[in-house]
Amino acid sequence: MSQFASSADIVVRPLREADLDLADQVLRLAFGTFLGAPDPARFMGDVAYVRPRWRSDPGAAFAAEIGGVLVGSNFAANWGSVGYFGPLTVRPDLWDRGIASRLMAPVLERFAAWGTRQAGLFTFPHSPKHLSLYQKFGFWPRSLTPIMSRSVRAAGGTAGWSRFSDVPRAEQAAMLVQCRELTTAVYEGLDLTREIAAVEAHRLGESVLVWDGGRLVALAVCHYGAGTEGGSGACYVKFGAARPGPRAGEHFGQLLDACEALAARERLPRLVAGVSTARHEAYRQMLGRGFRADRLGVAMHRGNDAGYHRAGVFAVDDWR
Ligand SMILES: CC(C)(COP(=O)(O)OP(=O)(O)OC[C@H]1O[C@@H](n2cnc3c(N)ncnc32)[C@H](O)[C@@H]1OP(=O)(O)O)[C@@H](O)C(=O)NCCC(=O)NCCS
């Protein structure tokens, strides 16, 4: 099957539930091989992307197959005016035959249908192949995105913050409106409510809400537990942001404290968050709080548009 005749043999289609096991295997093998892991098939332990992404939005998950066998997948994420894609993975024995390029078409089509204004991705800054692949589709490398972590101190109560899962069901829709109002102040149209709802519906972790005098001033979407993007060993802040304004830095600090308190409460040893170095003050605040980079990615932006990756924005995310 690795001797397929031409790109006409590659079929790109929606990812189906029956594909999930194989898509997960291909993803681990692809990253494990690229990064030189000793046992690529088991790479990333109980961290998972395929199932949580598919369950969160089955209409934004795509497969490539050859001869009826899945050989790669790609996922798009809808954050309102912002969209990103990945993980994009291809079975290693079939690299450099145009399969990933074919898996770009459906995510670009999703962005068009969603009216995505800022589109981007996270990739490996040391790989000429990766940069060149995405540049072909109009995405350009901008800031570094260190994936940072620190050990969790046994600290923190719940003063000043609350958990989305504690919001009574009848009030959740109104709470999502407040969340959207905060993120759209960070970047017009930025909307994390699908992520918050997916975490709640599929028990992927918790969303953290930070309050100041009854006003929502910061929020974070955290994944943790086996089979999530955090895995069983970490609280992974997939997105976090403080409301812009003179006290944004202070509220951002409170948000990081709240995420750490959540992690301590869930007995998770590490707190993980990616941050764009373009968000200079946020990056420096994380360094000052003892976060260290475990590895580096680079954000590639369609049309080289900075979007909300700029100084003065107190937000963490990494578009993985
Ligand atoms: C990255 C990955 C998805 C690419 O898949 P692929 O099917 O091999 O990619 P394609 O063949 O469609 O495209 C690769 C492009 O890079 C080009 N390329 C390869 N090596 C290159 C190099 N050293 N410098 C510049 N371009 C290079 C190829 O020529 C091709 O471009 P072309 O179509 O213009 O010829 C795959 O290698 C993979 O699964 N890697 C591990 C997981 C991963 O890193 N995923 C991406 C995370 S962002």
Nearest CA among 136, 142, 124 for reference residue 34:
124
Residue 140 lies in a domain: no
Residues 166-177 have pLDDT tens digits of 999 999 999 999
Residue 157 has a pLDDT of 66
Are 94 and 154 members of one domain? no
Residue 245 lies in a domain: yes
Residue 96 has a pLDDT of 97
Residue 87 lies in a domain: yes
Confidence of residue 6 (pLDDT cuts 50, 70, 90): confident
Are 96 and 180 members of one domain? no
Residue 5 has a pLDDT of 55
* Minimum-distance ligand 1 atom for the alpha carbon of 128: 24
Cα separation, 293 vs 287, whole angstroms: 9
Are 182 and 313 members of one domain? yes
Are 64 and 194 members of one domain? no
Which range of residues forms the domain containing residue 160? 149-317
Q: If you average pLDDT over residues 207-228, what whole number do you get?
A: 97
Q: If you average pLDDT over residues 278-297, what whole number do you get?
A: 98
Nearest CA among 267, 278, 262, 290 for reference residue 317:
278
Residues 75-92 have pLDDT tens digits of 999 999 999 999 999 999
Question: For ligand 1, is residue 15 a contact (CB within 6 Å)?
Answer: no
Mean pLDDT score across all residues of the chain? 96
* CA nearest ligand 1 atom 29, residue: 96
Question: For ligand 1, is residue 126 a contact (CB within 6 Å)?
Answer: no
Answer yes or no: is pLDDT of 119 > 80: yes
Residue 133 lies in a domain: no
Answer yes or no: is pLDDT of 26 > 60: yes
Task: Tally the domains of the chain.
Answer: 2
Are 166 and 258 members of one domain? yes
Residue 150 has a pLDDT of 97
Answer yes or no: is pLDDT of 158 > 80: no
Pocket test for ligand 1, best of 6, 33, 95, 103 (most atoms within 8 A of CB): 95
Pocket test for ligand 1, best of 75, 124, 133, 300 (most atoms within 8 A of CB): 133
Are 172 and 83 members of one domain? no
Answer yes or no: is pLDDT of 1 > 80: no
Are 84 and 172 members of one domain? no
Cα separation, 198 vs 181, whole angstroms: 19
Among 116, 141, 169, the domain boundary falls at 116
Q: Are 64 and 99 in contact (CB under 8 A)?
A: yes
Confidence of residue 3 (pLDDT cuts 50, 70, 90): low
Residue 132 lies in a domain: no
Are 304 and 198 members of one domain? yes
Residue 155 has a pLDDT of 67
Are 106 and 155 members of one domain? no
Are 190 and 106 members of one domain? no
Among 95, 116, 137, the domain boundary falls at 116
Residue 262 lies in a domain: yes
Q: Are 230 and 47 in contact (CB under 8 A)?
A: yes
Residues 30-75 have pLDDT tens digits of 999 999 999 999 999 999 999 999 999 999 999 999 999 999 999 9
Give the CATH number of the domain where residue 260 resides: 3.40.630.30
Residue 4 has a pLDDT of 64
Residue 144 lies in a domain: no
Residue 192 lies in a domain: yes
Are 110 and 196 members of one domain? no
Q: What is the DSSP letter of 152?
A: P
Are 202 and 258 members of one domain? yes
Answer yes or no: is pLDDT of 186 > 70: yes
Answer yes or no: is pLDDT of 189 > 70: yes
User: Using alpha carbons only, what angle is made at residue 117 by residues 180 and 148, rounded to the nearest 5 degrees?
Assistant: 65
